[in-house]
Amino acid sequence: MSPGPILSVRGLSVRFGALRAVDDVSFDAQRGHITAVIGPNGAGKSSLFNLISGAIRPSAGRVEFDGRDVTGARPDRMLAHGLARSFQITNLFFELPVRENLRLAAQFLCGGRGLLRPVAASRVALQRVDELIERFRLQAQADALAGTLSHGEQRRLEIAVALAARPRMLLLDEPTQGMSHADTQETEAMIRSLAGDQLSILLVEHDVDLVMNLSDHVVVMHQGAKLAEGPPQQVRADAAVQAAYFGDAAHA
């Protein structure tokens, strides 16, 4: 573990044709903190998320994770470094049982490192699966096909899948999107309980209230660029943020 922030983004940019979807964005995420990126629809949040997680390559800028330059590294390399992501678009195997979704993800714990023999590796993975089923309260659904779960349960399973390989940072893109009020509150509590010494969280989110309650640090994006950053209350009171974000939100 290196000193300093767990994640450091500097001058990150990506263009889609003439559109500057992410335009020279810089910020740090501190260890053990919940850092949130907010902004109106189209602000560039998911593009930023995709740049950090390695799904797309930046046209300029740099991403440092735990003191290491990981700019442009593919998602599987990012996961090997300890950075996991959960998508806005669901990425479960719907036709497989919950347990199997988790087992496939937990295999990553042992894969690539080549230290464990197959039998020992599968024991480690199965132990991790049991832990996750309990931790995410999926006992009753463990043998059900992922496609048959409720929306809220699927989002919970997605987060469990993302955590299977014991990452040090979790990237979440709108984890409560499309959820009922009850599921949203439950997810909020879960995210809060996950953050700590072992896990830092970067949350990309449209829902301002969720972010204000949950985050240690907020980065506001607008039209691809960083508009403001700071503690939640300070950001909420910022005049430029009020105009660009809350103004838009009020008319949405």
Ligand X SMILES: Nc1ncnc2c1ncn2[C@@H]1O[C@H](COP(=O)(O)OP(=O)(O)O)[C@@H](O)[C@H]1O
Nearer to ligand X, 39 or 175 (CB): 39
Nearer to ligand X, 51 or 164 (CB): 51
Judge whether 107 and 120 are in contact, CB under 8 Å: no
Select from 38-46, 79-87, 153-161, 193-201 the region that touches Mg ion (CB under 5 A): 38-46
| Using rule CB under 6 A, residue 7 touches ligand X | no
Binding-site member from 13, 27, 44, 105 for ligand X (CB under 6 A): 44
Contacts of 46 (CB under 8 A, 6+ apart): 88, 173, 204
C-alpha 190/C-alpha 68 separation (Å) is 29
CB-based burial, 108-132: b 16+ in 10 Å, e otherwise: bbbeeeeeeeeeebeeebeebbebb
Listed in sequence order, the DSSP H helices in 113-202 are 118-135, 151-163, 181-194
Q: Which of ligand X, Mg ion, none does 53 bind, CB closer than 5 to 8 A by kind?
A: none
| Using rule CB under 5 A, residue 200 touches Mg ion | no
| Using rule CB under 6 A, residue 42 touches ligand X | yes
Work out how close the CB of 141 gets to Mg ion at its nearest, in angstroms, rounded to a whole number.
Answer: 27
Contact letters for ligand X, residues 19-38 (x by CB under 6 A): x-x-----------------
| Using rule CB under 6 A, residue 109 touches ligand X | no
Judge whether 140 and 154 are in contact, CB under 8 Å: no
Q: Which residue is nearest to Mg ion (CB)?
A: 46
Residue 2 CB neighbour total at 10 angstroms: 10
Binding-site member from 43, 125, 164, 169 for ligand X (CB under 6 A): 43
- Positions in the binding site for ligand X (CB under 6 A): 16, 19, 21, 39, 41-47
